[in-house]
Amino acid sequence: AQKVTQTQTSISVMEKTTVTMDCVYETRDSSYFLFWYKQTASGEIVFLIRQDSYKKENATEGHYSLNFQKPKSSIGLIITATQIEDSAVYFCAMSRTGNTGKLIFGLGTTLQVQP
Protein backbone atom coordinates (compact mmCIF):
# COMPACT_ATOMS: atom_id res chain seq x y z
CA ALA A 1 0.00 0.00 0.00
CA GLN A 2 1.12 3.52 -0.62
CA LYS A 3 2.13 5.62 2.33
CA VAL A 4 3.70 8.99 3.07
CA THR A 5 5.43 9.50 6.41
CA GLN A 6 6.64 12.72 7.97
CA THR A 7 8.44 11.79 11.16
CA GLN A 8 9.12 15.32 12.40
CA THR A 9 6.04 16.61 14.17
CA SER A 10 7.48 20.06 14.75
CA ILE A 11 10.68 22.00 14.15
CA SER A 12 11.83 25.32 15.54
CA VAL A 13 14.59 27.34 13.86
CA MET A 14 16.03 30.82 14.04
CA GLU A 15 15.26 33.29 11.31
CA LYS A 16 17.64 33.38 8.32
CA THR A 17 18.85 29.83 8.85
CA THR A 18 18.30 26.76 6.66
CA VAL A 19 15.88 24.02 7.61
CA THR A 20 15.26 20.57 6.17
CA MET A 21 11.99 18.69 6.60
CA ASP A 22 11.95 14.96 6.05
CA CYS A 23 9.50 12.82 4.14
CA VAL A 24 9.65 9.15 3.21
CA TYR A 25 7.18 7.36 1.00
CA GLU A 26 6.21 3.89 -0.05
CA THR A 27 5.11 2.98 -3.55
CA ARG A 28 5.49 0.19 -6.07
CA ASP A 29 5.03 2.53 -9.00
CA SER A 30 7.98 3.02 -11.31
CA SER A 31 6.91 6.58 -12.11
CA TYR A 32 5.33 8.97 -9.66
CA PHE A 33 5.21 12.58 -8.52
CA LEU A 34 6.05 14.11 -5.16
CA PHE A 35 4.78 17.41 -3.82
CA TRP A 36 5.19 19.75 -0.91
CA TYR A 37 2.43 22.01 0.35
CA LYS A 38 2.32 24.71 2.99
CA GLN A 39 -0.65 25.43 5.25
CA THR A 40 -0.56 28.88 6.82
CA ALA A 41 -2.03 29.91 10.13
CA SER A 42 -5.13 31.17 8.30
CA GLY A 43 -5.68 27.65 6.97
CA GLU A 44 -4.75 28.35 3.38
CA ILE A 45 -3.04 25.41 1.62
CA VAL A 46 -0.48 26.46 -0.96
CA PHE A 47 1.40 24.30 -3.46
CA LEU A 48 5.15 24.86 -3.14
CA ILE A 49 7.17 22.50 -5.29
CA ARG A 50 7.05 19.22 -7.20
CA GLN A 51 9.52 16.47 -8.05
CA ASP A 52 9.02 14.04 -10.92
CA SER A 53 10.46 10.63 -10.03
CA TYR A 54 12.13 10.17 -13.41
CA LYS A 55 14.14 13.38 -13.03
CA LYS A 56 17.53 13.09 -11.35
CA GLU A 57 17.87 16.83 -10.76
CA ASN A 58 16.43 18.16 -7.55
CA ALA A 59 13.63 20.65 -8.09
CA THR A 60 14.05 24.23 -6.87
CA GLU A 61 11.56 27.06 -6.55
CA GLY A 62 12.67 30.34 -5.00
CA HIS A 63 14.04 29.61 -1.54
CA TYR A 64 12.58 26.09 -1.61
CA SER A 65 14.51 23.11 -2.91
CA LEU A 66 14.20 19.37 -2.67
CA ASN A 67 16.61 16.62 -1.69
CA PHE A 68 15.31 13.67 -3.70
CA GLN A 69 16.93 10.35 -2.79
CA LYS A 70 15.06 7.76 -4.82
CA PRO A 71 16.89 4.67 -3.50
CA LYS A 72 15.86 5.74 0.01
CA SER A 73 12.30 6.74 -1.04
CA SER A 74 12.99 10.10 0.50
CA ILE A 75 12.02 13.62 -0.53
CA GLY A 76 13.24 16.30 1.85
CA LEU A 77 12.17 19.95 1.64
CA ILE A 78 14.91 22.50 2.18
CA ILE A 79 14.08 26.10 3.00
CA THR A 80 17.01 28.49 2.91
CA ALA A 81 17.16 31.90 4.57
CA THR A 82 14.02 31.22 6.55
CA GLN A 83 11.67 34.09 7.35
CA ILE A 84 9.08 34.52 10.07
CA GLU A 85 6.35 34.08 7.46
CA ASP A 86 7.66 30.60 6.68
CA SER A 87 6.11 29.50 9.96
CA ALA A 88 3.42 27.05 8.90
CA VAL A 89 2.54 23.36 8.58
CA TYR A 90 4.26 21.63 5.67
CA PHE A 91 2.73 18.60 3.99
CA CYS A 92 4.44 16.08 1.78
CA ALA A 93 2.28 14.31 -0.83
CA MET A 94 2.64 11.64 -3.49
CA SER A 95 0.64 10.74 -6.56
CA ARG A 96 -1.41 7.61 -6.21
CA THR A 97 -1.21 4.48 -8.31
CA GLY A 98 -3.58 4.34 -11.22
CA ASN A 99 -3.03 7.63 -12.99
CA THR A 100 -6.09 9.16 -11.37
CA GLY A 101 -4.60 12.47 -10.30
CA LYS A 102 -5.31 11.66 -6.65
CA LEU A 103 -2.72 12.36 -3.99
CA ILE A 104 -1.83 10.79 -0.68
CA PHE A 105 -0.67 13.20 2.03
CA GLY A 106 1.55 12.93 5.06
CA LEU A 107 0.38 14.28 8.40
CA GLY A 108 2.54 17.36 8.26
CA THR A 109 5.43 19.05 10.05
CA THR A 110 4.91 22.29 11.94
CA LEU A 111 7.70 24.78 11.37
CA GLN A 112 8.20 27.70 13.73
CA VAL A 113 10.69 30.35 12.71
CA GLN A 114 11.92 32.40 15.67
CA PRO A 115 13.12 36.01 15.33
> Torsions phi, psi of 95, nearest 5?
-70, 145
The distance of closest approach from Cβ of residue 16 to another protein in the complex, given in angstroms and rounded to an integer, is: 28
14 or 107: whose CB is closer to another protein?
Answer: 107
The DSSP line for 65-93 is EEEEEGGGTEEEEEE-S--GGG-EEEEEE
Strand residues in the chain grouped as ranges (E): 3-5, 10-14, 19-21, 24-26, 33-39, 45-52, 60-61, 64-69, 74-79, 88-95, 103-105, 109-114
37 or 87: whose CB is closer to another protein?
Answer: 37
3 or 63: whose CB is closer to another protein?
Answer: 3
The distance of closest approach from Cβ of residue 14 to another protein in the complex, given in angstroms and rounded to an integer, is: 28
Binding site for another protein (CB under 8 A): 32-33, 35, 37, 43-47, 50, 91, 95, 99-103, 105-108
Closest CA to 20 of 84, 86, 98, 70: 86
45 or 81: whose CB is closer to another protein?
Answer: 45
The distance of closest approach from Cβ of residue 42 to another protein in the complex, given in angstroms and rounded to an integer, is: 8
The distance of closest approach from Cβ of residue 28 to another protein in the complex, given in angstroms and rounded to an integer, is: 15
